[in-house]
Amino acid sequence: MLKLQQFVNNPYQENTYVLSDETGSCVIIDPGMYNATEQNAVVNYIKENNLKPEILLNTHCHIDHVLGNKFVFDIYGLRPQIHKGELQLLHAVPSYAPQQGFNYEISPEPEAFLTEEDTVKFGNSILKIIFAPGHSPAHLCFYHEESKTLIGGDVLFYGSIGRTDLPGGNFETLISSIKNNLFILPDDTKVYPGHGPATTIGFEKANNPFLR
């Protein structure tokens, strides 16, 4: 059975997720932890629940989603797994982090690149990969079919969509990704986005002003 824990991190109020199952294995997705308080919250949750971090995933590589990559590597020895199309974004973070007031610890290089054909396996659980570019060049979402849980990153939000005015963003591509790749999921699929509250596929189909 999948268990999900959300942490809200850094000045961008980014959602970091820890997914675990009955085996105690877990994955960390989009570690945005920036200060000691945020770092301790994640570490303590993992320790108190006797979890074993096995995989570090980034949906995409904007600064607010990778601030904790180096910390996770230092503590758990995990390198990020991303789509190869996000590597340029990851490499760009050190150049603009100071302009945004961040003391950025450079992320380790990925140990593996993910494609839309891959799956992510941990414990008894499998996450399907959904390719959803538009907010960034090669954004990935992670879908747990059994529990109808989608870790959506910055693609689809409660009543909104991801920004497309950042490098590599494209509005038409994002709308196509949502309609063709996400809206084919069951209506009761719970969407856990990179910012803000969770929503469902069905609610966004019916109510999202960008997607009518």
3-state DSSP assignment of residue 206: helix
Q: Measure the CA–CA gap between 154 and 174, rounded to whole angstroms.
A: 10
User: pTM, whole model, 2 decimals?
Assistant: 0.98
Residue matched to tokens 């909104």? 160
Q: Measure the CA–CA gap between 69 and 12, rounded to whole angstroms.
A: 16
Q: Measure the CA–CA gap between 115 and 73, rounded to whole angstroms.
A: 22
> How confident is the model at residue 111, as a pLDDT?
84
Q: Which residues contact 167 (CB under 8 A, 6 or more apart)?
A: 89, 92
Torsion 47-153-86-94 (CA) sign = negative
Spatial CA neighbour of 33 closest among 44, 48, 23, 49: 44
The radius of gyration computed from the CA coordinates of the chain, to the nearest angstrom, equals: 16
Task: Give per-residue pLDDT as tens, 81-133.
Answer: 999 999 999 999 999 999 999 999 999 999 889 999 999 999 999 999 999 99
Q: 3-207, superfamily in CATH?
A: Ribonuclease Z/Hydroxyacylglutathione hydrolase-like (3.60.15.10)
DSSP label at 180?
A: I
Domain map of the chain by residue range? 3-207
**167 — pLDDT class (breaks 50, 70, 90):** confident
Say if CB 53 and CB 26 are below 8 A apart. yes
Give the start-end residues of each E strand in 33-187: 52-57, 80-82, 112-113, 119-122, 125-131, 140-144, 149-153, 156-157, 160-161
